[in-house]
Amino acid sequence: MSDSLLQFRNISKSYYGNSVLANINFDVRKGEIHALIGENGAGKSTLMNILFGMPVITGTGGYEGDVLIDGEKISFKSPHEAMYAGIGMVHQEFMLIPGYSITENIKINREITTPNPVSRIFGKRLETLDMASMNADARKALDKLDMNIEEFTQVAGLPVGHMQFVEIAREIDKTGIKILVFDEPTAVLTESEAQNLLAAVKRLAAKGIGIIFISHRLDEIISVADRVTILRDGELVATKDIKDTNAVEIAALMIGRKVAIDRVQSDRRRISDEIILSLKDLHVGMPGEMVRGIDLDIRKGEIVGIGGLAGQGKLGIANGIMGTYPARGDVVFNGKPMILGDPRAAMASGMGFVSEDRKGVGLLLNESIELNIAFTAMQVGNKFLKQGGPFRFQDDDGIRKHALKMIKDLDIRCESPVQHAGSLSGGNQQKVCVARALTQDPVFLFVSEPTRGIDIGAKKLILDLLLKLNEEEGMTIVMTSSELAELRSICDRIVIVCEGKVEGVLPPDASDAEFGLMMSGSRGGKTEDSPERSADHG
């Protein structure tokens, strides 16, 4: 492969003994668009961080293996060195200064200057800016992208699609750019903007620039890329020519069969036909997890999974209903319409919430376990309170008794109920969160990312606990998780959220390809019958 611009040879990386990349071999040819695809945490960003010499890599002991550019081994110590070597990145979040003109943004820290008398004495930094040449350069870069917008327009107020192009223009204005990385470039664009972008990417490739195209949209990859490399759990699954493969195959390779947690079957489950929660056109303004119109019915006694890639809005649903972020839409719970944006009312109506943000919203880290368990019930449900004249006191004995029962029931491993919640392990912290939600006696429980940052043994315990609650108390559970495997292990049906909307509903035993296609926003087609199929599992 003599025409390889960039080669990764046997790249491995581990953080503190935790392997995140193993033996990656990957190359980009001149003028090629090479797509990189994988679930969250598959190792895409780590691979790019290695390429750019990001501090997060260099500061944690570097990596194993070689990176070669034009056949020469390189090792960048900072993103700046990578920039000088001709590697550019178009970020998903724009690195633009809104108050600057397009020219100023394109030329940031690479301004063209002319010497003046003062600068001859005090150095280059006092040279005068040559705005005319800068404008001309910016014009050239914009023309390459067929952008006919004025180069002196201020960036603030431009449509998002244009901002993306300004980012690209900045990269191609750098002299000797060889490799350009696009990180989810179309995530924030409208369809027509995305089409323009893809056309521009193709034009750049035709000029001989090697392009790494990170995306989760399969149809885009199929239409634009020459080759695709699929990563899964830090391993390279396959590199394929686009013409030899198709969306279904890529999707299947992306999800793969993970070490599945076995599905526990039980005949004591009771799923009624009664709809306990009905969402109509729910919108939630959670930054980074925008929900843009969800319709969903949840039946009493069900365990519903909500899956999808990060940033698509799956976490926003529970947060919007529970009132932690502004929301709009019709939500009917137990036959009564809910007022959104009022966490207190949501909890009082019998909903419990185990937040994905365990250490932020979930726990009072510097308070005791027992107080953590009782806190919400005290605030919302007026439990564990004693009346003493005009004042109300907390009922220490009641709290202790309840906490001890919870610690026993949920098997929270701790020294005593007065131990600080912050000193517990992740799994036990999660159990405290669950215990707190249970203390309010909810009939409906939202659980978000229950196993994030928890070791595998504890994961199983949490999932078993949820299943037990459902079985014994008949509690309806909506579990949101990035880990498809755990959703598949306990849920009756799995709702896949993509771009803030319900992409489809799948039974847990649907094929990997179906999940993969749906998570990447390429509708699989046969999704409508899945609720019926899922009912059979009950």
**Minimum distance from residue 509 beta carbon to another protein (Å):** 34
In whole angstroms, how close is the CB of 97 to another protein at the nearest point?
Answer: 4
What's the CA gap between 319 and 355, in Å, rounded? 8
Binding mask 454-493 for another protein (x = CB under 8 A): ----------------------------------------
Distance CA 23, CA 11 (A): 5
By the rule CB under 8 A, 398 interacts with another protein: no
| CA contacts within 13 A on the Cβ side of 44 | 23
The piece of 7-15, 176-184, 320-328, 398-406 that touches another protein (CB under 8 A) is: 320-328
Q: Tell which one of 4, 12, 45, 152 touches another protein (CB under 8 A).
A: 152
* CB-facing half-sphere around the CA of 138: CA atoms within 13 A: 26
Is residue 237 within 8 Å of 21, Cβ to Cβ?
Answer: no
Q: What residues from 177 to 236 belong to the interface with another protein (CB under 8 A)? A: none
Which residue, 97 or 364, is less far from another protein as judged by CB?
97
Q: Is 357 in the site for another protein (CB under 8 A)?
A: no
Residue 476 corresponds to which tokens in the numbers above? 């309806």
Residue 96 found at the interface with another protein (CB under 8 A): yes
| Collapsed DSSP state (helix, strand, coil) of residue 430 | helix
CB of 102 to another protein, least distance (A): 13
For residues 513, 518, 519 and 521, what is the CA-based torsion angle, rounded to 10 degrees?
130
97 binds another protein (CB under 8 A): yes
Tokens of 191: 């369809």
Per DSSP, 260 falls in state P
Binding track over 100-119 against another protein, x by CB under 8 A:
x---x---xxxx-x--x--x
Q: Which of 36, 37, 83, 454 binds another protein (CB under 8 A)?
A: 83
Residues 6+ apart with CB under 8 A from 16: 60
Q: Is 129 in the site for another protein (CB under 8 A)?
A: yes
Span 41-80, contacts to another protein by CB under 8 A: 79-80
Stretch that binds another protein, among 148-156, 235-243, 366-374, 463-471 (CB under 8 A): 148-156
* Contact call for residues 293 and 500 (beta carbons, < 8 A): yes
DSSP secondary-structure letter at 362?
I
How are beta strands 87-90 and 179-183 bridged, if at all?
Answer: parallel
339 touching another protein, by CB under 8 A: no
- Per-residue three-class SS string for 50-119: HHHCCHHHHCCCCCEEEEEECCEEECCCCHHHHHHCCEEEECCCCCCCCCCEHHHHHCCCCCCEECCHHH
Interface positions, 279-298, toward another protein (CB under 8 A): 283-287, 290, 292
How far is residue 500 from each of residues 167, 316, 317, measured CA to CA in Å? Answer: 25, 9, 9
Using rule CB under 8 A, residue 132 touches another protein: yes
Among 15, 25, 143, 156, binds another protein (CB under 8 A): 156
Q: Residue numbers of the site for another protein (CB under 8 A)?
A: 79-80, 83, 95-100, 104, 108-111, 113, 116, 119, 124-129, 131-132, 150, 152, 156-158, 160, 163, 283-287, 290, 292, 325-328, 500
